[in-house]
Structure 1
Amino acid sequence: MTQPSLTERRKAATQLDIARAAAALFAEHGPDGTTAEAIARRAGVALRTFYRYFRSKQDAVGPLLSGGAERWRALLEAAEPGPLHPTLEAAVREALAAPDAATAEQLKWTRGLLRAAERDPALRAVWYRVNQDSEERLLPVLTRLAGPDADPLEVRLAAAAATDAIRVALEAWAGTDAPAAGPHSPAELAVRCLRELTGGMRLLSR
């Protein structure tokens, strides 16, 4: 996999700084009480820089919401072709586990944003778009893992089910006060959702 250039890494770091500033202000004042100008000030960037990367204040939190999916996809990209179900489960567990402070912090931001999204249609639309993008980017990864003889429709269904498993698990967890690790953690809920959604799929039973 090609490593991002220095410019791309700086761009991603700036976007993440803006995303964290937006999430913090949403937590303090709610999306309705937050402006793009306030987010730019909190992030220490010019307003034109904000709009170079994001169309709206809700869009600004996209990098935070997509972090877990990116970790999961990276784990799958590094996996060897073979039986899909154990590979998917292992990647889900590792991607949504909270072994360090950075991952735990990201899950905390995700919980707050998903709670805010219940009352903000624009923020909810960003969450759905992040998941749609994740599913589309996951498809070629699963196609490689499943091998050349796999039915493309079954691979597409697997990508959709796996993405929805993580989405539903995070939404369910965000509605509770359960910790980031343990029986009701995002990782455990996602594995449960994955098993329920893929139980009848031939591709994942091989």
Structure 2
Amino acid sequence: MSTKQVSTKPLSLTERRKAATQLDIARAAAELFTEHGPDGTTAEDIAERSGVALRTFYRYFRNKQDAVGPLLARGADHWRELLAASEPGTGLPRALERAVEESLSASDAHTAEGLRQTRALLRAAVADPALRAVWYRVNQESEEKLIPVVAGLAGPDADPLEIRLAAAAATDAIRVALEAWATTDADVTGPGSPAELAVRCLRELVGGMRLLTD
């Protein structure tokens, strides 16, 4: 298999500022949801916590649940970057596993805190259909963005259907692992951690795919 880097156009200064503002709002929303639950949080609360005007909040987000989307998407963005940066000659199965494991390993306090925030949001989503819809949307968007990365790693002769299946399997492995972890009190590292569960899910889901057989 050949490795092909997927090129992305650098963000403009305006786009970077917009993304930074959205992430600040997302963090504020996640904090408030953890403290008070979605039902106990308003868009006004989120805007105040993040230091923006309410009209700015609604410029970026349709509702309070939608506001956590950028935060949930950060982990997916990170693991796609890790996958795209795989060393030439790395087989696709191993490249996927390494990227999944590295992205979910709580190697520093920042990553660990991000995982704990995700767990809190997933727990809150159990009783909040709108929040669950944001989580599913983030995963769907991540799967679509993953397809060209997998295609680049698989090479020009790979079957497009198998590429789509591989992208779906990898995305679902992470989603299911995080959802399962969120129902437990397992730590961010060690037995039952997101990284361990995601690798296990990935191996189970891709076991019969020709594209993912070294």
What TM-score, normalized by structure 2, do the two folds share?
Answer: 0.93
* Cα displacement (A) at 1:102: 1.2
- Does residue 44 (structure 1) correspond to residue 51 (structure 2)? The answer is yes
> Aligned AA for 1:69?
A
* Cα displacement (A) at 1:174: 0.8
Correspondence 1:155-170 to 2 at 5 A: 155-170=163-178
Q: Distance in 2 between matches of 1:150 and 1:81?
A: 15
Secondary structure at 1:130's aligned position in 2?
helix
Q: Distance in 2 between matches of 1:33 and 1:78?
A: 42
Q: Distance in 2 between matches of 1:27 and 1:97?
A: 22
- Does residue 139 (structure 1) correspond to residue 142 (structure 2)? The answer is no
Larger RCO of the pair (alpha carbons < 8 Å, separation 6+) = 2
- Does residue 174 (structure 1) correspond to residue 182 (structure 2)? The answer is yes
**Structure 1 residues 154 and 81 mapped into 2: Cα distance closer, same or farther (>3 Å)?**
farther
> Aligned AA for 1:35?
T
Match of 1:34 among 41, 49, 53: 41
> Aligned AA for 1:59?
D
* Cα displacement (A) at 1:2: 3.5
Once the two structures are superposed, residues 6-50 of structure 1 have per-residue CA deviations (whole angstroms, 9 ceiling, x without a partner) of 222221111111011111111122111111111000100001110
- Does residue 191 (structure 1) correspond to residue 168 (structure 2)? The answer is no
* Cα displacement (A) at 1:52: 1.0
- Does residue 17 (structure 1) correspond to residue 24 (structure 2)? The answer is yes
> Aligned AA for 2:132?
R
> Aligned AA for 1:151?
D
Structure 1: segments with no counterpart, 5+ residues: none
Once the two structures are superposed, residues 125-177 of structure 1 have per-residue CA deviations (whole angstroms, 9 ceiling, x without a partner) of 00000000000000011011100110110110000000000000000111111
Question: Is the 8 Å Cα contact of residues 84 and 146 (structure 1) preserved in structure 2?
Answer: yes
Question: Is the 8 Å Cα contact of residues 135 and 159 (structure 1) preserved in structure 2?
Answer: yes
What TM-score, normalized by structure 1, do the two folds share?
Answer: 0.97
Structure 2: segments with no counterpart, 5+ residues: 1-7
> Aligned AA for 1:34?
T
Number of matched pairs: 206
> Aligned AA for 2:61?
F
Question: Is the 8 Å Cα contact of residues 81 and 147 (structure 1) preserved in structure 2?
Answer: no
* Alignment root-mean-square deviation, CA: 1.1
Question: Is the 8 Å Cα contact of residues 81 and 146 (structure 1) preserved in structure 2?
Answer: no
Q: Distance in 1 between matches of 2:67 and 2:161?
A: 34
Secondary structure at 2:190's aligned position in 1?
coil
- The aligned counterpart of 1:76 is 83
Question: Is the 8 Å Cα contact of residues 155 and 203 (structure 1) preserved in structure 2?
Answer: yes
Correspondence 1:54-65 to 2 at 5 A: 54-65=61-72
Q: Distance in 1 between matches of 2:57 and 2:63?
A: 9
- The aligned counterpart of 1:109 is 117
Identity %: 75
Q: Distance in 1 between matches of 2:89 and 2:18?
A: 33
Q: Distance in 2 between matches of 1:136 and 1:81?
A: 24
